[in-house]
Structure 1
Amino acid sequence: MSKIGKVAVIGAGVMGAGIAAQVANAGVEVLLLDRPGEGEDRSSIARDAVARLLKTDPAPLMHKRKMKLITPGNTEDDVDKLAECDWIIEAIIENIEIKQKLYHHLEKHRKSGSVVSSNTSTLRRSDLIEGMPEKFCRDFLITHFFNPPRYMRLLELVGGKETPEALLEKVSSFCDRSLGKGVVVCRDTPGFIGNRIGIFWLQCAVVEAMDRGISIEVADAVIGRPFGIPKTGVFALLDMVGLDLMPHVLGSMAKHLSPEDDFHKVYREPELIKKMIAQGYTGRKGKGGFYRLRPDSPDKVKEAINLVTGEYSEASRPRVGVVKKAGTKNPRKVLQDTSDAGCYAWAVMSRTLAYAASLVPEVTEDIAAIDEAMKSGYNWKYGPFELMDQIGTAWLVHNLEVDGQKVPPVLKQAEEHGFYRVRYGTRELLSMQGSYRKLLQRPGVLKLEDVKARGGPVDSNPSASLWDLGDGVMGLEFHSKMNSLNLWSLSMMQRAIPQIIASDYKALVVYNDGSNFSVGANIGLLMVAAKLRAFPFIDYMVRKGQDTYQALKFAPFPVVSAPSGMALGGACELLLHSDAVQAHAETYTGLVEVGVGIIPGWGGCKEILCRWATSTDGPQGPMPPVAQAFEQIGLAKVAKSAEEAREMKILRKTDGITMNRERVLADAKEKALELAEGYVAPEPLDIVLPGPSGRVALDLAVSGFHQSGKATAHDVVVSAALAEVLSGGETDMTRTVSEATLLELERKAFHKLCRHPDTIRRVNHMLKTGKPLRN
């Protein structure tokens, strides 16, 4: 069966435009159609939707140039263009009659064998295809994207008995590899998997909080962190989704689910929420929701609603004792707590987990698919069955029985050994037959948790570990808090080099399963050292970082970094020193040190300067590369995608970008093996820099910004130090500057700035607030 080469999206609303943007992010042409608009431009609706993509935050497009791949049109004048498309995605109003009318229209114009799918979140496939031609039914699927399509990984795929397996595989593969989705194949049931469980969980949390008089701040705290659920919890999540959407979704679920379904026990439409919607309090897109910013307040005071009175008051950060005691690794401690918060957590999570288990095998026989749906669709760190294993299935069964709740059969089966286990180095999961089977990964997917199941690390310390990835490739994993880099991290990087050489490994891949590759160097250490005036320690740490990264750069084997999420500061410097980068498309990276009053000190200034100096796609000569690097570092620019990182020279043209997070490690390992064939380490670079004349030009530019109020007093100090490094110190255009000289300039500038009281204030402010200080 042919591959998908061009896509059409019908419906240019927020969701349809977002899907079109993600298709464009994959480098695929997409036709975006909506109904004809009034006036001369009959494609104005779709055209306006495309224009809004550049203004939307968070950005649906990974790079503004991707917009060129989207062609706006309308369903009358441009319907003939559907014959060029391999996949047509319908993303219009949730109304069966209107959808079917569109399907009949599409059937007249689509090419034979093209896929047609609906982005419905609640309607069943069997209802949508009722009365449609047999040929159409064979080619029709449900492809339920979660909003926003760029950032939410889950895609629920529903076919039927008449659906060819090859068609399902074609769409699944495209969504997985090209769109970066975690594809979950679902049965044709109301709400599919993600919303079936997610809506139950949200509704249960709302009504239990109302009935028990629990504040929304406490509810979000107790239902969030201890269970691996994002800090938005429940009520902040509903504000993001939109309160006005919930009655429609809840009503559809109530209509289509059987009367025996436990959803009906939590279903109700609270008067408070009806009143909020009527008054425009629909969440973040309205005047506020459960949370809001105090009206007419210049201080942006956050307020929370009282679920009993409906009145707003300043939101608090509740100190829920059991949450603090449980942390992020002991959800059972929360569930067995007898405080009001603990009882609330039990009421919500026990019913949600039992409900998820009761849906097997109705929605799917694969418990791993349910876990994937909740992790990818609702950003849970653990799926329901993984969470039940953490809590303890035997404990959960016992307490459900004591509480008078039904224990689903599949949970009873898992009572003794749990849903997942590791046996002979292989991860296994419970099947419907009560036996365990190997947990298979899709071809091209390598997970670090599977590597860990095979045995212990090659080497380890409190912040980093080395793992055998197989085929002669060693993996380096960071596992400090937020994967920040410290002396332990640097030590493990250095220890990796002789171990790889001595054990005949071929390459090193730097990767971890965290939501962020690394937030950079631990500035808390800098703060402590500066307060104690332990400047020799600061100098030691800077030298240690420089020496480590230089050692990796010139090692006799290739080093491939595989980032995802944030790779900031020192982590960005690691990418710059790697032989290659295989980045997840959602990599956010940059040299951000000026925000805390310092400059990159582990070779970042040197590397980004050399990247611009050796570039062939920009102005040549000593000064243009200096100006480019100065602007990029001085403004603390952060790439908001791997595509943008490539434009900023953090990624080379030869570096790879992987759309699917789960494929990053396997792709990085493959790249490392390719580089290992005949590998020769790079030679140190010497570049020509302008010296004092260039530094004066940069200083004058910053002075102008300071006079106009665009730069603060300390910005001038930091910029002067940066200009000294990037211009090459006391050199001129008749000489070359070595990497070693640039590193020495970095160290001197870094050491000088660390002694400055305004830098110490910036670091302290960042640690306290998480925001830069403009001093």
Structure 2
Amino acid sequence: MEATLEQQKTAIKNRSIRRVAVLGSGIMGSRIACHFANIGVEVLLLDIVPKELTPAEQAKGLSLEKPAVRNRIVNEAFQNTLKGSPASLYSPKFADRIKLGNFDDNLQEINKYDWVIEAIVERLDIKRSLYERVEQFRKPGTLITSNTSGIPIHILSEGRSDDFRRHFCGTHFFNPPRYLRLLEIIPLADATGPNTDPAVIDFLMKYGDLYLGKTTVLAKDTPAFIANRLGIYAMVQTIRVAEEMGLTVEEVDKLTGPVVGRPKSGTFRLSDVVGLDTTVNVSNNLYQALTHDESRDAFQLPSVMQKLMENKWLGDKTGQGFYKKTKDEKGQTQILALDLKTFDYKPSEKVKFATLETTKNIDNLKKRFSVLLAGQDKAGEFYRKTFADGFRYATYRIPEVSDELYRIDEAIKAGFGWQLGLFETWDAIGVRKGLEMMEAGNLKPAQWVYEMLDSGADSFYKVENGVRNYYDIPSKSYKAIPGTESFIILENLKNNVVWKNAGTTLYDLGDGILNLEFHTKMNTFGAEVLEGINRSIAIAEKDFRGLVIGNESTEAFSAGANLAMLFMFAIEQEFDEINMMIAQFQQTMMRARYSSIPVVGAPHSLALGGGCELNLHADQTVAHAETYMGLVEVGVGLIPAGGGTKEMAARASDLYQTGDPELNILQSIFMNIATAKVSTSAQEAKEMNYLRPTSQIVLNRSRLIAEAKQAAMELADNGYTQPKPRNDIKVQGRTGIALFKAGITAMRMGRYISDHDVKIADKLAYVICGGDLSYPQTVTEQYLLDLEREAFLSLSGEKKTLERIQSLLQGGKPLRN
């Protein structure tokens, strides 16, 4: 049986990773260093010593022996990474965990490090030369891995010692390492001399999962490994089909974006972001290396890509590629798209296909595919051509790149941000239907697919007793996906539903713990979600020990309140309805806070407005590292009124210590709300006091619900006591209001904010300071909740607030008026 989570962690502790040395400070090296710093590891980042002085260094009279010169390359590379967007660090403070140096002065220090990661230029001779130097200083038993994406691992290891080889393998991070979840582990295997120790591979697979938050995929030492092999094939073939069908750049990006569960960038925009030269280099290398690939010719560049390379239109790095940014006559940014026939740029156009229109109301991605593939327009034809070919190619890569089909799916999802892998997509269509589509296009998959269907198996995956199994080709049977036994996947628990309504589902996770899942659009709060929270707590209090509130959405934990309902009431001036709606929201948040069982929030991605407020009131929060949390109501002309303003006043009060400048503490919290600031990570959410210091941060999203369940169990096991409503919140009264009003007035005079912004900020200041009190004093939670509700009600009647809400509902963009 698979080891439990705690057993896995114990095994990992036997090889402690406290220090990591990263050799090479380029884009990948610096970002890998930052991600290790994110998890608290001490990092040494090294690069080469410059051979020449820059003009600026010469002007300063510096020599090549000066430390500032010797470390110039690593310093500049690291600073560029720190300035980059999106940020590579969870918090700027974590940069202190990274020490910079160079190969000549500091390489000997690697004998104190537990893991050495090579991330230098993709040239075999340079890598081998560095490995020879590493062998002089590396402590025996130390992990040594390469981030290569193109050079075979067995070639890199030639000439190295037995100990080096036993502890050497590929660890291929995807860029940017903080955000893309894939980590391919490529053992040295079938080589002359010792291969990678299996214990090293087992360690790296688990460490990447548990501590780096990665989907760790075991790959074979084949060209481009798994994800790039399948991903680049899909990209090049998509471009080829677009060229054949006469589709535009915008049309293809629309067809290959979120509608099929892939990133908004689609195909051509992704190429611009990555850099066309990167795609072309990988494709050319694959063509050279894959002499036995039945689809080798597919890696020859389509004419469109060849012409772009000739023009050096490589994408964002050259200012133009498939898209180009310009300014119009009014100075407004305009996006131009390349005409693939004329190679002129034209204004980007909105795309419409009849097939896409028919799927607008199909939220379930798996159900959407059959409709897309049945389309009788160009969209349907495009999908049939590209999907059929992609499925076919994937079948022939087993066992070449992987013995198991699930590894191909995991790699492509984690490396390219797809919601469903190739075999998962095929399952959603139906294996037999996919086969018919393939054969209709004169394509045939590998023979094992026919044998699978002949054996009676009609899907690549199936769920049994809450465990997801994959079809194992050699044994012609289903097996559990290794390493996932300790995951909790809600989709697999359809037989564990305790209660549900139109917007929520309550699952029994076992061990006396429930999980409430939202499934409204962007998981927004409406009447059905509030009912779900209240009913779940009532059920938990009666028959269970705790409640987790979490979901598996790729978009949002919750984007906040249902603004459409609020807007409708406000337009019709149904202020009693709004008052009742806000009162119910507040009561639900307080119910979560003061229930007799522990309530644990499991936020991820967006946790905005009400989504943030729910977590503010939970007994414990277990957040995914990539949680973007904030009270953003000011952006639509309102203030937080689901207990958010009250709770932040309480957290400010809890921070006050004797002698502290209390107004400074409150001002920082006030500004976060007044500017609708959203954290850029769970760590920053802690620094902004949206998460408590005791809140847990989980790096692997797949483990979030399981870790939240564990937190709920620990609270229940340790004698959870129902808390009592607070009456000790210290507020600043008129003193604080006067301070904030002075700042607000100065902002208005400087024209940084509008008159309506002033009105909103004044209301917020009044509430967070406890109203018109003559001196600082303590108040109750209910007192602050009442102030919140009154302020919210008054603002909801403002014309400019309604304009802001309408702008967001219609165009998704905030309005400043």
Normalised by the shorter chain, which TM-score bucket? over 0.9
Q: 1:81 to 1:617 in 2, by over 3 A?
A: farther
Q: How many residues align?
A: 771
Specify the code of the residue in structure 2 equivalent to 1:285: K
The residue type equivalent to 1:70 in the other structure is I
Shift of 1:194: 0.5
Report the Cα offset of residue 651 of structure 1.
1.0
Deviation of 1:342 (Å): 2.0
Query: Where in structure 2 are the equivalents of 1:607-618 lying within 5 Å?
Result: 607-615=647-655
**One-letter amino acid of the structure 2 residue matched with residue 427 of structure 1:** R
Q: Is 2:106 aligned against 1:78?
A: yes
Which of 608, 611, 615 lines up with 1:575 in the alignment? Answer: 615
Give the letter for the 2:434 counterpart.
L
Residue 766 of structure 1 corresponds to which residue in structure 2?
808
AA at the equivalent of 2:261: G
Q: CA deviation at 1:656?
A: 0.7
Aligned partner of 2:164 in structure 1 is 136
Q: 2:515 aligns with which of 464, 475, 478?
A: 475
Counterpart residue identity of residue 720, structure 2: Y
CA distance in 2, matches of 1:337, 1:711: 49
Q: Aligned-pair distance for 1:734?
A: 6.1
> What's the CA shift string for 1:171-208, capped at 9, x where partnerless?
22222222111100011111111011000000001111
Contact 1:473 1:506 in 2 (8 A): yes
Q: Does 1:698 align with 2:711?
A: no
Shift of 1:136: 1.9
Partners of 1:305 and 1:106 in 2: how far apart?
Answer: 47
Q: Which residue of 1 aligns with 2:338?
A: 305
SS at match of 1:76: helix
- Per-residue deviation, residues 591-645 of structure 1 (Å, max 9, x unmatched): 0100000000100000011111101579736634432332111111111111101
Alignment correspondent of 1:116: 144
What TM-score do the two structures reach when normalised by structure 1? 0.97
Residues 20-76 of structure 1: CA deviation (Å, up to 9, x unaligned) = 100100110111111012432201111122222321000001100110011111111
Structural mapping, 1:444-593, within 5 Å = 444-452=486-494, 455-503=495-543, 505-515=544-554, 516-593=556-633
Question: Quick one: distance in 2 between partners of 1:76 and 1:606?
Answer: 57
Distance 1:414 1:291, change over 3 A: farther
* Residue 281 (structure 1) aligned with residue 319 (structure 2): no
Contact 1:304/1:314 (<8 A) preserved: yes
Aligned-residue CA RMSD (Å) = 1.8
Comparing 167-176 and 6-15, the one that deviates more: 167-176
Quote the residue 1:747 is aligned against: 789
2:722 alignment counterpart: 681
- Output the amino acid matched with 2:245: R
Counterparts in 2 of 1:259 and 1:617: CA distance versus 1, 3 Å: farther
What secondary structure is seen at the aligned counterpart in 1 of 2:580?
Answer: helix
Matched, 1:36 2:44: no
Paired AA for residue 714 in structure 2: E
Q: Distance in 1 between matches of 2:23 and 2:584?
A: 56
646-655 or 291-300, which deviates more: 291-300
Say if 1:393 and 1:414, in contact at 8 Å, map to a contact too: no
Correspondence 1:90-239 to 2 at 5 A: 90-161=118-189, 162-239=195-272
Which of these residues, 316, 327, 343, is aligned with residue 349 of structure 2?
Answer: 316
Name the stretch that deviates more: 487-496 or 281-290: 281-290
Aligned equivalents of 1:438, 1:269: Cα separation in 2: 39
After TM superposition, the structure 1 = structure 2 runs for residues 354-393 of structure 1, keeping only pairs within 5 Å, are 354-393=392-431
Residue of structure 2 in register with 1:351 after alignment: 389
Seen in structure 2, the aligned counterparts of structure 1 residues 170 and 456 have a Cα distance that, compared at 3 Å, is: closer
Corresponding letter in the other structure for 1:596? V
Match of 1:26 among 30, 35, 39: 39
Q: Which amino acid aligns with 2:275?
A: G
TM superposition shift of 1:299: 1.3
Q: Distance in 2 between matches of 1:623 and 1:223?
A: 51
SS of aligned partner of 2:479: strand
387, 397, 402: which one aligns with 2:435: 397
Deviation for aligned residue 1:451: 2.8
Partner Cα separation in structure 1 for residue 15 and residue 379 of structure 2: 55
Once structures 1 and 2 are overlaid, which stretch shifts more, 591-600 or 210-219?
A: 210-219
Q: Offset of 1:267 from its aligned partner?
A: 2.4
Larger mean Cα displacement after TM superposition, 126-135 or 734-743: 126-135
Retained in 1: the 8 A contact 2:116–2:144?
yes
Moved more, 436-445 or 238-247: 436-445
Take 1:737 and 1:540, find their aligned partners in 2: how far apart are those partners? 23
CA distance in 2, matches of 1:195, 1:399: 25
Task: Note if contact 1:623-1:689 (Cα within 8 Å) is conserved in structure 2.
Answer: no
Residue 45 of structure 1 corresponds to: 73
CA distance in 1, matches of 2:642, 2:90: 28
Cα distance in 2 between the residues matched to 1:226 and 1:361: 31
Residues 1:265 and 2:297 aligned together: yes
Letter in 2 for 1:141: C
Between the aligned partners of 1:363 and 1:642, the Cα distance in structure 2 is 36
Task: Identify if the C-alpha distance between structure 1 residues 401 and 271 changes in structure 2 by more than 3 Å, giving closer, same or farther.
Answer: closer
Structure 1 270/422 Cα, relative in aligned 2: closer, same or farther at 3 Å?
Answer: closer
For residues 195-247 of structure 1, the C-alpha deviation after alignment (integer angstroms, 9 at most, x for no partner) is 11000000001111112211111112223334222222111111111112122
Distance 1:477 1:760 in 2: 30
Preserved CA contact (<8 Å) 1:360 1:410: no
Q: Match of 1:458, SS?
A: strand
1:422 to 449, 459, 463: 463
Query: 2:380 corresponds to which letter in structure 1?
Result: G
Letter in 1 for 2:108: D
Q: Following the alignment from structure 1 to structure 2, what is the Cα–Cα distance between the partners of residues 191 and 729? A: 63
Does 1:654 find its partner at 2:731? no
Letter of the 1:176 counterpart = D
Separation in structure 1 between the aligned mates of residue 432 and residue 539 of structure 2, nearest angstrom: 43
Q: 1: CA distance between counterparts of 2:451 and 2:797?
A: 63
Deviates more, 1:513-522 or 1:589-598: 513-522
* Cα pair distance change 1:626/1:258, threshold 3 Å: same
The residue type equivalent to 2:721 in the other structure is: V
Bigger CA drift: 399-408 or 335-344?
A: 335-344
Alpha carbons 1:50, 1:67 under 8 Å: kept:
no
The one-letter code matched in structure 1 to 2:382 is Y
More displaced 10-residue stretch of structure 1: 702-711 or 159-168: 159-168
Does structure 1 residue 668 correspond to structure 2 residue 708?
yes
Which residue number in structure 2 is paired with residue 64 of structure 1?
92
Greater Cα offset, 283-292 or 197-206: 283-292
In 1, the alpha carbon distance for the partners of 2:443 and 2:776 equals 82
**What TM-score do the two structures reach when normalised by structure 2?**
0.92
Q: Distance in 2 between matches of 1:567 and 1:694?
A: 28
Question: What is residue 332 of structure 1 aligned with on the other side?
Answer: 370
C-alpha separation between the residues in 1 aligned to 2:529 and 2:257?
29
Amino acid at match of 2:492: D
Percent of aligned pairs with the same residue? 36
Q: In structure 1, how many angstroms separate the alpha carbons of the residues matched to 2:334 and 2:431?
A: 43
Structure 1 runs not aligned, ≥5 long: none
Aligned equivalents of 1:400 and 1:607: distance in 2?
A: 57
Alignment of 1:617-656 (within 5 A): 620=660, 623-656=663-696
CA distance in 2, matches of 1:772, 1:410: 53
* 1:261 positional shift: 2.8
Provide structure 2 residue ranges, at least 5 long, that are not aligned to the other structure: 1-13, 53-63, 190-194
CA–CA distance in structure 2, aligned partners of residues 358 and 274 of structure 1? 27
Secondary structure of the structure 1 residue equivalent to 2:185? strand
Contact 1:226-1:331 within 8 A present in 2 as well: no
